[in-house]
Structure 1
Amino acid sequence: MDGMTDDGLSGGDHLSAEDGLSARAEAVLALERRNWAGPGAKERAIREELGLAPVRYYQILNALLDDARALAHDPVTVNRLRRVREARRAER
């Protein structure tokens, strides 16, 4: 496998040395808690604050939604995003 873990992320993207969430993973969840004023504001914040392409950000976020550590860290945000994801899947 090309350095990727089972969840599709490279090993350091969401884990810390203590097997908790990394600073990047915590920052992704923190960004998701915020409200966004208008179109493009969130994508701009993703690039400027996290230094990530939006596509990569959403890959990391999606993997975090299936991670028990993310749920333990921020249950309100993770559960809200899981409901949104499930609703979108049901629409298809």
Structure 2
Amino acid sequence: MTASSSGPSGPSGPGAPLSAQERGVLALERRSWPGPGAKERAIREELGLSPVRYYQLLNALLDDRRALEEDPVTVNRLRRVREARRGRR
């Protein structure tokens, strides 16, 4: 893998569609959660990821134009949340 093939648009390249895993991350973010631990459990069971890796992927997706095209409502909502958190720090 070259340095130019990695980045916000992922190793597949800027023109490639989102992977099934990336779509799964966005799908999990569209859902509401009944209580603490439910989301983390779903991350492990449905995606086979640790919560830390999940949030790393999610953060990268928020900067990926393909994710914005795939699910603009979710991506824009999460971008606003991220910016609000950064503003409080």
Give the TM-score normalised by structure 2. Answer: 0.87
Aligned to 1:85: 82
1:48 to 45, 50, 60: 45
C-alpha distance in 1 between matches for 2:20 and 2:46: 12
Deviation at 1:25, TM superposition (A): 0.3
Query: Which of 54, 59, 65 pairs up with 1:68?
Result: 65
Give the secondary structure class of the aligned counterpart of 2:73: helix
User: In structure 2, how many angstroms separate the alpha carbons of the residues matched to 1:6 and 1:52?
Assistant: 20
Unaligned runs of 5+ in 1: none
Q: Determine which structure has greater relative contact order: mean sequence separation of CA pairs < 8 Å that are 6+ residues apart, divided by chain length.
A: 2
Moved over 3 A (4+): none
Equivalent residue letter for 1:79: N
Alignment correspondent of 1:37: 34
1:33 counterpart letter in structure 2: R
Higher helix share: 2
* Number of residue equivalences: 86
Structure 2 unmatched runs, 5+: none
CA positional deviation for 1:20 = 0.9
Aligned letter for 1:72? E
Give percent identity, aligned residues only.
71
TM-score by length of 1: 0.84
CA RMSD of aligned residues (A): 2.2
